[in-house]
Amino acid sequence: MINNITNKEYNISAINFKSRNADIRFADRIAREVNVRFPTLSLSKTNRYNNRSKVPKFHQGESKVYGKMQEFYDALGELFAFNRSKRNYTILNEYMKIIEKYKMANCIEQSLLALIIAKCSGLKNCSIRGLYGKENGWLDHAVVYVKDKKNPYIIDPWLGFADYLPKAFEKYKGEYKNFFIRMFFKEKDMYFEPKDEISLFMDKMLTPNSIEKLSKKRPELCLQQNNCK
């Protein structure tokens, strides 16, 4: 069942296509490209979605899905734990192959894909960050954070949108609240902080040399900002 997952069936988030400035439109495109290039099933999103009738195939093969999920995480663990001798480019390319094979990804995995696309497309000052609340700490969500001096913004491929921080917080508490755990709703003050172990690892992996090799191997990852509509 997993190998037959299509973007139409499982990409249950609605992409935001509103016309805004060039930076946000381009960031929107990156979020969209993750879901188009790497159609996946997110069990956490499916379990929290308020209308599971949109994914009826999930019910039919739920036990198989969970079995594949374990295989998926075992494959990722083996890749990152036992292949440090491999070149950065090779590890990143194999990472994407695992996503393509199992067609599974939660917010962190999708954010890593978005970061790869962003870096290959020349986007600067971007990294993986977690969403935190002053009361509950990490709120079990990760995005790509773009450190713009005047107006920092985020790329959230798991929910399929990009926006400036104030607007993003509004969306998390509003139209997307059903995707999150209950403690999320009680948070008055949200903020983004680096997910240290992930951010440091990706900084090490996404060197100029590995980005150049990925861009040549997978030219579809290199988006042109002036072509963003």
Q: What's the rounded Cα separation, in Å, for the pair 94 and 8?
A: 25
For the chain, how many residues are written?
229
Distance CA 161, CA 14 (A): 8
Q: How far apart are CA 98 and CA 221, in angstroms?
A: 16
Model pTM score: 0.81
Structure-token match 């094979």, residue found: 101
pLDDT in tens, 20-57: 699 999 999 999 999 999 998 887 776 665 445 555 55
Tokens 């979605």 belong to which residue?
Answer: 49
Where exactly are the structural domains of the chain?
2-220
Q: What is the CA radius of gyration of the chain?
A: 17
pLDDT at 82: 54
Q: How far apart are CA 215 and CA 8, in angstroms?
A: 27
